[in-house]
Amino acid sequence: MAKAKGSLGKAKTRQYDLPFQKDIGTRYMTTVITLMVFLGFLCAALGLTLHAINTRWTTGLEGKMTVEIPAQGIDQSLRERDALDAIAQSVIAEFQNHRFVRKIEVISQEAMTDMISPWLGERQNYADLPLPVLISVEVEGTLGEKDLLTLQNAVVSIDAASRLDTHKDWLAELLRFTGAIKLVALVMGIVITLTTLMAVAGVVRARLAAHMADVELLHLMGATDTYIARQFQGHILGLSLRGCLIGAGMGVLMIKGIGWVAGQLGFILMPDFAITMSSWVMLCLVPIAIIGLCFVTARATILNALKDMP
């Protein structure tokens, strides 16, 4: 037993002056950080995706509107295709009088079929469906109230059943919805951060209590608080690094998984759930930020506790 020269009783390479390696709860600490990074990762991914969807829809729809000429007239009677086309031509002619209308065209039957086929399935012939005629309109910038009213009145005066859709209403609805989810993601992110910080502070305080005698000894040998804090920091940094790597790995797999499932199901609302390059960079910041937070918390906790020692 006391054969010191042999491998028995031979110390491993010194890592810290304090015996953290033997501490209970080291794995618990790593697990907590892993889970927190994982959740933080998902929250951030959710937030970024929603943000991307928002921008896509808002910028995509800016300055765009649609004139809808329904197959049914104001008296609910089904109208001939030719009649609808004639109305469309009048609307186009009228709109072209305004210089802020940049582009105006009837959406082709093929394009319409492409848009609705995901809902209705492949059909041989859509001609017998009472499809409306849609005219896509692009204007310079955003229209003022007055110009918008002029266009709306023009449409109604040509055909009482038709209307000009600026997409504003449902876009506002979409933004409200995604905004609410983004808020939830943000609150979750804050809760996750606070939980992580409390866990780290708790672990550091427990470690300090467990190693009080050794810490006192280091003090007696003239170790500064910074020297002792470095030991704890290093230890916590090691733990959080491990936790962050595992958590981030799990997060990446999860996101890839969701993207794959979304791709398989062909979500119409999120045609490109796939996270862009810049989003990945942002996501990488999550574990880095959490590691930084753990580090700073460990240091602050330890320095705060040590400053009351003699």
Partner 1 sequence: MITFEYVGLRYGIGPEVLSDINFTLEPGSFHFLTGPSGAGKTSLMRLMYLAHLPTRGIVRMFGENVVTVPRSKRMEMRQKIGTVFQDFRLLPHLSAFDNVALPLRIAGRKDHEIRNNVNELMEWVGLADYMHALPNTLSGGQQQRVAVARAVVAKPRLILADEPTGNLDDKIGARIFKLFEQLNKTGTSIVVATHNLNMMREFRHPCMILDGGAMRIEHLGQRTSDLVDKLREAF
Q: If we measure between CA atoms, which residue out of 229, 192, 228 comes closest to residue 32?
A: 192
How far apart CA 266 and CA 264 sit, in angstroms, is 5
What is the smallest separation between the CB atom of 209 and partner 1, expressed in angstroms?
17
| 309: Cβ contacts below 8 Å, ≥ 6 apart | 215, 216, 219
Among 99, 146, 176, 307, the residue binding partner 1 under the rule CB under 8 A is 307
Tokens representing residue 112 in the block: 């319409």
Q: Which stretch binds partner 1 (CB under 8 A): 39-47, 100-108, 213-221, 241-249?
A: 213-221
Choose the stretch contacting partner 1; rule: CB under 8 A; options: 38-46, 160-168, 217-225, 241-249.
Answer: 217-225
Q: By CB under 8 A, which span of 15-23, 103-111, 183-191, 247-255 interacts with partner 1?
A: 15-23
| 21 binding partner 1? (CB under 8 A) | yes
Residue type, 41: F
Q: Under a CB-based contact definition with an 8 Å cutoff, are residues 78 and 130 in contact?
A: yes
Residue 24 touching partner 1 (CB under 8 A): no
Distances (CA, A) of 256 to 5, 12, 246: 53, 40, 15
Question: Of the listed pieces 39-47, 167-175, 212-220, 256-264, which binds partner 1 according to CB under 8 A?
Answer: 212-220
CA distance 254 to 247: 10
Residue ranges in 220-249 that form contacts with partner 1 under rule CB under 8 A: 220-224, 227
Site string for partner 1, 167-206 (x = CB under 8 A): ----------------------------------------
Q: Please, what is the minimum distance in Å from the beta carbon of residue 232 to partner 1?
A: 15
Q: Which stretch binds partner 1 (CB under 8 A): 34-42, 53-61, 129-137, 209-217?
A: 209-217
Interface with partner 1, residue 51, by CB under 8 A: no
Q: Which range in 42-50, 93-101, 182-190, 216-224 contacts partner 1 by CB under 8 A?
A: 216-224
* Rounded alpha-carbon distances, angstroms, from residue 258 to 254, 262, 265, 266: 6, 6, 10, 12
Q: Is 212 in the site for partner 1 (CB under 8 A)?
A: no
Contact 37, 251 (CB under 8 A): yes
The single residue among 163, 205, 219, 242 that binds partner 1, judged by CB under 8 A, is 219
How far apart (Å, rounded) are the C-alpha atoms in residues 95 and 39?
A: 51
217 binds partner 1 (CB under 8 A): yes
Residue 22 binds to partner 1 (criterion: CB under 8 A)? yes
* DSSP state, residue 65: E
Does 265 engage in binding with partner 1 (CB under 8 A)?
no
SS3 171: helix
Q: Is 277 in the site for partner 1 (CB under 8 A)?
A: no
3-state secondary structure of 102: strand
* The Cα angle at residue 257 between residues 253 and 263, in degrees rounded to 5: 145
Binding partner 1 (rule: CB under 8 A), the pick from 8, 265, 269, 277 is: 8
CA 61-62-64 angle, 5° bins: 65
CB of 306 vs partner 1, minimal distance in Å: 10
310 binds partner 1 (CB under 8 A): yes
Burial 148-177 (b: 16+ CB within 10 A, else e): beebbebbeebbebbebbbbeeebeebbee
Is the C-alpha dihedral spanning 226, 229, 235, 236 positive or negative? Answer: negative
Interface with partner 1 by CB under 8 A: which residues?
1-5, 8-11, 14, 17-19, 21-22, 213-214, 216-224, 227, 307, 310
